[in-house]
Amino acid sequence: MRAENVLTVRQWAPHAISRSRGDPRQESLGRDEPAREYYCAVDTGGTFTDCVVGDSEGNLVFAKSPSTPHDFSEGFFAALTLAAEQLGLTLPELMARTRRLMHGTTVGTNAMVELKGARVGLITTRGHEDAILIMRSVGRSAGLPIERLLHVSRHRKPQPLVPRHLIRGVSERVDWRGEVIVPLNREEARRAIQELLAQKVEAIAIAFLWGFVNPIHEREVRRMVEEMAPDLFVTCAHELIAKPGEYERTAATVINCFIGPKTTRYIRRVEERTRAFGCAAPLLIMQASGGVAPAREILRAPLFTIGSGPAGGLMGCRFLAETLGHPHVIATDMGGTSFDVGLIVDGMPLSASETTLGQYTFFMPRLDILSIGAGGGSIIWIDELSGTLKVGPESAGADPGPACYGRGGTRPTVTDADLILGYYNPEFFLGGRLKLDPEAAHHAMRTIADPLGLDITEAADGATRIVELQMADLIRQMTIQRGYDPRDFVIYAYGGAAGAHAAVYARELGARTVVIPRGVLAATWSAFGILSTDIQHVFEKSELLIAPLDAARVTEIFLELEERARRQLREEGMAEDQILLRRFAEMKFRLQIHRVEVPVPGGILTDQDMRDLEHAFVQKYETLYGRGSAFTAAGMEIGLLRVVALGRIARGQLKQLPAERRRRWTPVGQRQVYWRELGRRIQTPIFSGEGLSPGATLEGPAIVELPVTTIVVRPGDRLTTDAYGNFILTLP
């Protein structure tokens, strides 16, 4: 791999996770201490693959390498190799000493976005073959950006993941109580399987009505498929989702099959190569729910990896927020391809049970994160109909990338605009490993500026303004539209491009404080977040319980789910004191559709606990939908009980910077930077952000350069460093 395409930066103990009280200035991680153990996390993004490696003393190194869409495992091992080199080790030596290997993958997400998945067959209850094609009434518009929602005449259903000729109905019926009304017609089932196999399907999805209440028929058809085609990828709906919703459950099952073969091949390839390199640690895969799971579990349910990278970043924010004492955080991740937003409220990341991707809405436990195509690689373009400037959602990706990368890209991107405005140093992008071409950026931007009658700077500033407002609008959807005031939150900004734009979208929201977490680690924050997560599984049971709630029955269900959870985690090597179980109930008012997740206390529940639960539901409902919106006269009900099971992985606290670090802000140069607030370019001081003492303060306008990110300190803003190496922007 060419040197200019990679970046590795060594991050020493003062900025690391501490598991000992050793000398924080120690700078020896490699060959001189052969007994040292390592903990590795790799996050594959659309543009870059990030790697963070921690050792048994709490030191960190990180590496950043371009993603390799033709085979993502190449980027995975390239990033690990670069990290190993920083430790003075070969890749096999690092793998042999690795005690925990964690990975966030976008293979499944990419397969969905690009519609390059497996050929799927679907077996369902006779008479319901078209449910997946009919969708819900919002299927034509689900997940569309606002600019497309406005053109109703252009709404279309998505391309079917399973075409009608690959759907088979089988005679069977289970009612809502789980009683078999119509026995499974095994001859029909066998014929359906034979017909699908003759059509060369690569996976078969099995989704019967009420199969999650009594899965007897789904299991029987699965056994038949395994007998007839032992190597075929098969998913039963009850194995993924345990709640009513015929379309959403079927969609989840089909999507799991659509991405399954490609994802499982990828994970097995990574596992085989890590074993060949001598890694004995189990491969743990990041899930969208905010925890990792053993690879063998993900081979069965790759659906849960969709959106796992952003979930890692949010979990990293939670870990840092606990240390800094920030109960309410807006986590914002601006990378090369997308802009992701999640919320931490009262110390806990918000979660959701429904997801929309490619206009398909399906059930999946996940952290509540929204994304738009607004990253550094987002393409700037002109709408032919309106003649207006647009940014994204299309991205230049990793190859060819922005025009200024000099790899053949000709269309302007946000990164090109940032370079033109003077935010980026063309000689120090990615720590100097990737030289940017300002002339190529200007040439690409001229294709936008000239048709609009703008000069290059006006076009670049207009494009950045548009993308910053798009990001602010997404945050409003996550906060104001859900009853939260963004002024009550601290904004965490990470990803390679966030530091350049966070002050603007924060100011748009009325927020006063922006944290760029851990400085140089911000650009690989999702990988760091994955390293800080626990093993996690979600266990659910759907049962209709009407208020006044039966405390004995609710307790019985939770105890059953908790026993399954403990058994699962014990099989994975977790000791009893490492197991943490959290209870939740999905509640709603009768005859309404909005379900709200409410925490439930542990232990044996009482009637008073049930009354407290109803009160908590009303409070949360009115937080989300407005004071007075709770229709208590309609009565309340529980539709789903959920246990989130954590296998706690040992970790320490963040180390503070050593007191003897004394370097203050010292300019390392200056350059012409365009400031929107001033309406012109001015000669602006440039500062290095490395090696600073806690409490160092800088007034804008200024540019702070770090090896993998740049912080733009706008006029009137103040930047300080804290005791943990975070950069804090304070807005007037």
> How confident is the model at residue 147, as a pLDDT?
64
Cα separation of 89 and 215, whole Å?
Answer: 50
* Residue 522 DSSP class: G
Average pLDDT over residues 216-224: 97
Query: How, if at all, do strands 636-647 and 535-546 pair?
Result: antiparallel
Q: Give the pLDDT band of residue 117 (cuts 50, 70, 90).
A: very high
- Helices 456-478 and 498-509 cross at an angle (nearest 10°) of 60
**Which amino acid type is present at position 579?**
I
> How confident is the model at residue 373, as a pLDDT?
82
> How confident is the model at residue 35, as a pLDDT?
62
Tokens of 109: 């997400």
| CB-based contact 719:664 (threshold 8 Å) | no
- Out of 619, 648, 677, a domain closes at 648
CATH number of the domain residue 272 falls in? 3.30.420.40
CA 453 from centre of chain: 39
Residues of the domain holding 614: 535-648
How many Cβ atoms from other residues are within 10 Å of residue 660's Cβ?
A: 7
Cα separation of 542 and 174, whole Å?
Answer: 15
> How confident is the model at residue 710, as a pLDDT?
93
Cα separation of 705 and 160, whole Å?
Answer: 47
> How confident is the model at residue 34, as a pLDDT?
52
Q: Are residues 239 and 282 in the same domain?
A: no
User: 47: which residues sit within 8 A by CB, 6+ positions away?
Assistant: 66, 67, 335, 336, 337, 375, 376, 377, 395, 397, 398, 401
Token pair 């040292």 in the structure block, residue? 36
Average pLDDT over residues 556-571: 95
Q: Give the pLDDT band of residue 707 (cuts 50, 70, 90).
A: confident
| CB-based contact 190:107 (threshold 8 Å) | no
Q: Exposure pattern of 465-497 as b/e (b: 16+ CB <10 Å)?
A: bbbbebbbebbbebbeeeebebeebbbbbbbbb
Q: Are residues 244 and 284 in the same domain?
A: no
Would you say residue 450 lies in a domain? no
Residue 137 burial by Cβ neighbours in a 10 Å radius (0-12, 13-18, 19+): exposed
pLDDT at 266 over 90: yes
Average pLDDT over residues 584-600: 90
Cα separation of 518 and 515, whole Å?
Answer: 9
Average pLDDT over residues 369-379: 87
Q: Are residues 251 and 204 in the same domain?
A: yes
* Average pLDDT of the chain, as a whole number: 88
Would you say residue 496 lies in a domain? no
Q: Mind listing the pLDDT tens digit for each residue in 498-532?
A: 999 999 999 999 999 999 998 778 888 989 999 98
The beta strand positions in 511-593, using DSSP E, are 513-516, 535-546, 579-589
**Which amino acid type is present at position 293?**
A
Cα separation of 511 and 235, whole Å?
Answer: 45
Would you say residue 582 lies in a domain? yes
Would you say residue 131 lies in a domain? yes
pLDDT at 457 over 80: yes
- Out of 588, 620, 648, a domain closes at 648
CATH number of the domain residue 221 falls in? 3.40.50
Query: What percent of the chain has pLDDT above 90?
Result: 64
Q: Are residues 137 and 79 in the same domain?
A: no
**Strand-by-strand arrangement of the 60-66 sheet:** 7-11, 60-66, 48-55, 38-44, 98-104, 283-286, 292-294, 535-546, 636-647, 579-589, 596-600
Cα separation of 643 and 599, whole Å?
Answer: 10
Q: Are residues 68 and 169 in the same domain?
A: no
Q: Are residues 170 and 275 in the same domain?
A: no
Cα separation of 303 and 309, whole Å?
Answer: 13
Q: Give the pLDDT band of residue 317 (cuts 50, 70, 90).
A: very high
pLDDT at 150 over 80: no
CA 125 from centre of chain: 34
Average pLDDT over residues 23-43: 61
Average pLDDT over residues 267-281: 94
Average pLDDT over residues 644-657: 77
Counting the structural domains of the chain, the total is 3
Q: Are residues 217 and 170 in the same domain?
A: yes
How many Cβ atoms from other residues are within 10 Å of residue 276's Cβ?
A: 10
Q: Are residues 197 and 219 in the same domain?
A: yes
> How confident is the model at residue 651, as a pLDDT?
62
> How confident is the model at residue 10, as a pLDDT?
34
Q: Give the pLDDT band of residue 325 (cuts 50, 70, 90).
A: very high
**Which amino acid type is present at position 364?**
M
pLDDT at 25 over 50: no
* Residue 533 DSSP class: -
| CB-based contact 317:367 (threshold 8 Å) | no
Q: Are residues 288 and 253 in the same domain?
A: no
CATH number of the domain residue 602 falls in? 3.30.1490
User: ∠ CA(393), CA(399), CA(402), 5° rounding?
Assistant: 60
Average pLDDT over residues 304-312: 89
Would you say residue 477 lies in a domain? no
Q: Give the pLDDT band of residue 398 (cuts 50, 70, 90).
A: low
Would you say residue 441 lies in a domain? no
Nearest alpha carbon to residue 665 among 717, 710, 704: 704
Number of Cα atoms under 13 Å in the Cβ half of residue 146: 6
pLDDT at 607 over 80: yes
Torsion angle of alpha carbons 563, 566, 567, 569, nearest 10°?
A: 160
Cα separation of 269 and 60, whole Å?
Answer: 27
pLDDT at 442 over 60: yes
Q: Are residues 74 and 166 in the same domain?
A: no
Q: Are residues 121 and 253 in the same domain?
A: yes
Q: Among positive and negative, which fits the CA dihedral 182, 183, 186, 192? A: positive
> How confident is the model at residue 689, as a pLDDT?
86
> How confident is the model at residue 338, as a pLDDT?
83
Cα separation of 75 and 81, whole Å?
Answer: 10
Q: Are residues 122 and 250 in the same domain?
A: yes
Tokens of 23: 């000398």
Would you say residue 394 lies in a domain? no
